A = this chain, B = another copy of it.
Amino acid sequence: MAEALTAEHILSTTEDVLRRYGPAKATVVDVARALGVSHGSVYRHFPTKAALREAVTERWLDQAHAGLADIAEATTPAPDRLRDWLRALFDSKRRKALGDPELFATFDVLAKENSDVIAEHIADLVGQLAKIVADGVKSKHFKTKDVQRTALAVFSATDRFHNPAHAREWTEPDVEDAFDAVCDLVIRGLAAR
């Protein structure tokens, strides 16, 4: 009303609407109603509903994983840093899955649609892994011929602990054990002998 209608304003309202109705029920009309404008105005800022969902998810992912980049950039020994980073990723994902289920469900929808936002998100995470692996090689903690390929392998091997498709398993009591066991295996697999 008094405020100008900004993309930012639309995004945070959409987040609220998604949280209330979930990705299956939330409509652009709902968002417009919550903003007190016509839905045509929303289309002035976002070309499609999909673009809107993606923008919300992108923001949400950035916020959720803000701390990860710091861990990746730290100067701690690479093996410890890798374990901390994988742990932080797992904890962050699980916290979101349990504490913010509707937005997590939105994220899950995008993941199953091969959205660009998810591809970028994954590329970002694998890039951070590559940084840690490269540091480990430099410090002689790790040994590998192809850093990028190895970073991808680490990401694949820990898929169960960050891919939203597996979220239902994250409440089982054995996951913690499984996570630690996979971490041990992966870190040993990287180690220089």
Residues of A at the B interface (CB closer than 8 Å) are: 149-150, 152-154, 156-160, 165-166, 177-178, 181-182, 184-190, 193
B165 touches A178 (CB 8 A): no
Do the beta carbons of A157 and B186 come within 8 Å of each other?
yes
- In the complex, A150 Cα to B186 Cα: how many Å? 11
Contact of A189 among B159, B166, B189 (CB under 8 A): B189
Of A154, A189, A193, most B-chain CB atoms within 10 Å: A189
Task: Give the residues in chain B near A166, CB-CB below 8 Å.
Answer: 159, 165
Top 7 nearest A-B pairs (CB, nearest first) are A189-B189, A153-B181, A157-B157, A185-B189, A188-B189, A193-B193, A153-B185
Closest to A184 in B: B153
B-side contacts of A154, CB under 8 Å: 185
Q: Are B165 and A182 in contact (CB under 8 A)?
A: no
How far does the Cβ of A14 sit from chain B's closest Cβ, in whole Å? Answer: 28
Residues on B with C-beta less than 8 A from A186 are 157, 185, 189
Task: Decide if A150 touches B193 in the complex (CB within 8 Å).
Answer: no
Contact of A150 among B150, B160, B181, B190 (CB under 8 A): B181
Find the residue from A150, A156, A166, A193 having the highest chain B CB count within 10 A. A156
Most B Cβ at <10 Å: residue of A150, A152, A165, A188: A188
CB < 8 Å neighbour of A152 from B156, B159, B181: B181
Q: List 21 A-B residue pairs with CB atoms under 8 Å apart, sorted by A's residue number.
A: A150-B181, A150-B185, A152-B178, A152-B181, A153-B182, A153-B184, A156-B160, A156-B182, A157-B157, A159-B159, A159-B160, A165-B165, A165-B166, A184-B189, A185-B186, A185-B189, A185-B190, A188-B189, A188-B190, A189-B189, A189-B190
